[in-house]
Copies of this chain bind each other. A is one copy, B any other.
Amino acid sequence: MSARLKAGVLGATGAVGQRFVQLLAGHPWFELVALAASERSAGKSYAEAVSWRLDVPLPAAAAGLPVRPTEPGLECDIVFSALDAAVAGPIEEAFAKAGYAVLSNARNHRMAEDVPLLVPEINADHAELIAVQKKRRGWKGFIATNPNCSTATLTLALAPLDRRFGITSVAVTTLQAVSGAGYPGIPSLDILGNVVPFIAGEEEKIERETRKILGKRSGDAVTFHPMVVSAQTTRVPVVDGHTASVFVSLDTKADLEGVREAFRTFSGPPQQLGLPSAPAHPTVLFEAPDRPQPRLDINVEHGMATLVGRVRPCDLMGWKFIALGHNTIRGAAGAAILNAELLKAKGMI
């Protein structure tokens, strides 16, 4: 692992694109060399093209990079896709066909049978689908995806319980941050002092993606987890951090200490392999009765963990608790980078 892999970002000027640029600055394994965005930005430097919205400065190494068209020809080995779903499908396929490792945050290919939907602590072995994909499609490169932002938070909270007790069913209500809708995203007139009890397409993503992620790989395919997942999603006036109120039924009997220990001790390949972006604890259990809270806790583990609190028995479903995750880090850019680190460590990139 002497030389760093050359990396590019597709859709680099958007909200998730900016997180990729931030997180890749100074990355030990990946060197950010190419930034691509829509034609509007062509010919400009990244600093000129981007309306930088993060509360940390634009990394100097990225500021001067020219913005390139979002098409193969970028001089790099790996591309991180922050493309909008409206255009991501064919563009990502073109890159994969041209030999790039495509780590995508877009929803377009997540549910394809031969595309892994990875949360490395949970289903690192789903990466084996890449070989199936390359063979089936005749591609030199490939596409690997990370889940939707709220699903990312939820699955890291469910996996510890599923691994130890089995999960039968989940009823979840989310309270999602505005950064999850990108920029410009939600108009301020819609959300100031308000709750919008609807996010288009979000519930379907949570209900399907969760079952694929927690599913079992058998040969060339993933068998979805049989759990029933039902979601209601809302938008709240929070900048970063999706909160989830979770009710869950387990397959087997559990006691409070066992459930808490499941959260506290959960770990997986990223921790074992010491991946650079891996949180020490992918699930962090809070003891205080009123935590986790997005504004106070979202940066725990650099935004790469799901924070769990208020774990307690539920007369109806068995157990209930609160989960919180950073939607543009573990829920988007950080997730794709962790996936790339996993594939690199496995020798698949």
Residues in B with CB closer than 8 Å to A57 are: 300
Contact of A188 among B185, B197, B294, B297 (CB under 8 A): B185
* Shortest distance between the CB of A55 and any CB in chain B (Å): 5
A301-314 Cβ-contact flags toward B at 8 Å (1 or 0): 00000000110001
Known A189-B183, A320-B232; contact A197-B293, beta-carbon cutoff 8 A: yes
Contact B189 A187 (CB under 8 A): no
Contact A243 B195 (CB under 8 A): yes
Known A179-B189, A299-B55; contact A290-B196, beta-carbon cutoff 8 A: yes
Contact B192 A317 (CB under 8 A): no
Residues in B with CB closer than 8 Å to A54 are: 296
A262 CB-CB contact with B under 8 Å = no
A52 nearest in chain B by CB position: B296
A230 nearest in chain B by CB position: B316
* Shortest distance between the CB of A172 and any CB in chain B (Å): 9
* Shortest distance between the CB of A259 and any CB in chain B (Å): 16
A90 CB-CB contact with B under 8 Å = no
A245 CB-CB contact with B under 8 Å = yes
Residues in B with CB closer than 8 Å to A189 are: 15, 53, 178-179, 183-186, 239
Contact-size category for A: 35 or more
Contact B236 A237 (CB under 8 A): yes
Q: Which of A155-209 contact B (CB under 8 A)?
A: 169-171, 173, 175, 178-179, 183-198, 207
A244-256 Cβ-contact flags toward B at 8 Å (1 or 0): 0101000000000
A17-59 Cβ-contact flags toward B at 8 Å (1 or 0): 0000000000000000000000000000000000001111100
A166-B100 Cα distance, complex, nearest whole Å: 57
A175 nearest in chain B by CB position: B195
Contact of A173 among B173, B315, B316 (CB under 8 A): B173
A200 nearest in chain B by CB position: B289
A291-B194 Cα distance, complex, nearest whole Å: 11
Contact B56 A299 (CB under 8 A): yes
Residues in B with CB closer than 8 Å to A290 are: 196-198
Contact of A238 among B195, B241, B293, B316 (CB under 8 A): B195
Contact of A171 among B247, B292, B310 (CB under 8 A): B247
A86-B315 Cα distance, complex, nearest whole Å: 29
Residues in B with CB closer than 8 Å to A317 are: 171, 230
A198 nearest in chain B by CB position: B290
Contact of A293 among B188, B194, B297, B300 (CB under 8 A): B194
A136 CB-CB contact with B under 8 Å = no
A316-B232 Cα distance, complex, nearest whole Å: 12
A133 CB-CB contact with B under 8 Å = no
A234 CB-CB contact with B under 8 Å = yes
A243 nearest in chain B by CB position: B195
A-B contact pairs, 20 of them (CB 8 A): A53-B189, A54-B296, A171-B317, A178-B192, A184-B184, A184-B190, A185-B188, A188-B237, A192-B237, A192-B239, A193-B237, A193-B295, A194-B293, A194-B295, A195-B243, A197-B243, A197-B293, A198-B289, A230-B315, A247-B247
Given contact pairs A55-B298, A195-B294, enumerate 19 new A-B contacts (beta carbons under 8 Å). Answer: A53-B296, A55-B296, A57-B300, A169-B316, A171-B317, A184-B190, A186-B189, A188-B188, A192-B193, A192-B238, A193-B193, A193-B239, A197-B243, A197-B293, A197-B309, A230-B314, A232-B247, A232-B310, A232-B322
